[in-house]
Amino acid sequence: MTFKVFIDGRHGTTGLKIDERLAARNDVEILTIPEDKRKDPTVKAEYINAADVVFLCLPDAASKESVALLAPGNTRTHFLDASTAHRTNPDWVYGLPELHGQRERIRTSQRIAVPGCHASGFILSVAPLVAAGLVPTDYPLTCSSLTGYTGGGKEMIADYETPAALPQNMLSPRIYALGLAHKHLPEMKALTGIAHAPVFSPVVGPFAQGMLVSVPLLTRLLPGVTPESIHAYLSEYYAGEACVKVMPLGGGDAPEAGFLPATTCNDTNRAELFVFGNAEQILLVARFDNLGKGASGAAIQCMNIVLGCDELAGLRA
């Protein structure tokens, strides 16, 4: 069977990666609007309603406009929205199938919100622990996230790749979202069930792709919790998952001479979860590709679930 797929926003970073990953599949037909008709809402509506799956790789307002073009009574076309427009909307299902119960919700939904990259690492690390009561909902969480510059979209990619030489202020990693109101915070709070959003410090580095999301915990605020108990619970929670792998306690052989690179999972749909710690402190780290499990790979994984395909079709775990 061949499925018809329309990528609305095909020329953006996420859209290009989805297009690239689907191009090699013989079970997918990508519908392409002629260049001179791209902004014609009537033509776009025809393509949306002809598709089995529509990927929305657009700004929030444009995503909402495209959803509104679905014809009344059309229950066949599935939306997979990579913007932040619908991630905390109760009428949309959050596209993180590894959370317990979420895979079946995705399978039966017509509207799926693809997770944000930073949010994916935070939620995969924290949500199971909060649900199990190992981390209280009112725990004062903090999170830092190091990402490659492709996470910033076309403009940031151009800033890093266009100059013959980077200016001095771009040669080192740079903290951003200093107003403490990053757009991923609402989903980070909602999907983990915590009472307050974490203090979140995202950092962009002078490398194209790769991501490390880190969450520290203090054992004195978590009675009875140890690195061993956290690791054991996450290992059991994600047992059997192809795209989420809990690494050995302390990282096993993964840290290279005491360092944990951000790029090891690049070009895969794999997220690796690490637990480091001692009697006083615990550090949770999620490592994945910000363009893979953090964006286009996650979108395709959800598409595969919706269409009843092999969940890893077109992906590499």
Distance CA 315, CA 22 (A): 9
Distance CA 264, CA 279 (A): 29
Distance CA 90, CA 284 (A): 28
For 217, residues 6+ apart whose C-beta sits below 8 A from its C-beta are 135, 139, 225, 230, 277, 281, 282, 283, 284
β-bridge partners, 31: 6
Catalytic residue among 117, 143, 265, 309: 117
Helix (H) or strand (E) holding 212: strand 211-218
SS3 content of the chain, % helix, strand, coil (to 5): 35, 20, 45
Cβ neighbourhood burial of 213 (10 Å; 0-12, 13-18, 19+): buried
Cβ neighbourhood burial of 219 (10 Å; 0-12, 13-18, 19+): middle
Alpha helices in the chain (DSSP H): 13-22, 41-50, 60-67, 102-107, 117-131, 153-161, 185-192, 227-237, 297-307
The yes-or-no answer on residue 117 being catalytic is: yes
Distance CA 92, CA 84 (A): 12
User: Quick check: 23 and 30 in contact, CB under 8 A?
Assistant: yes
Residues involved in catalysis: 117
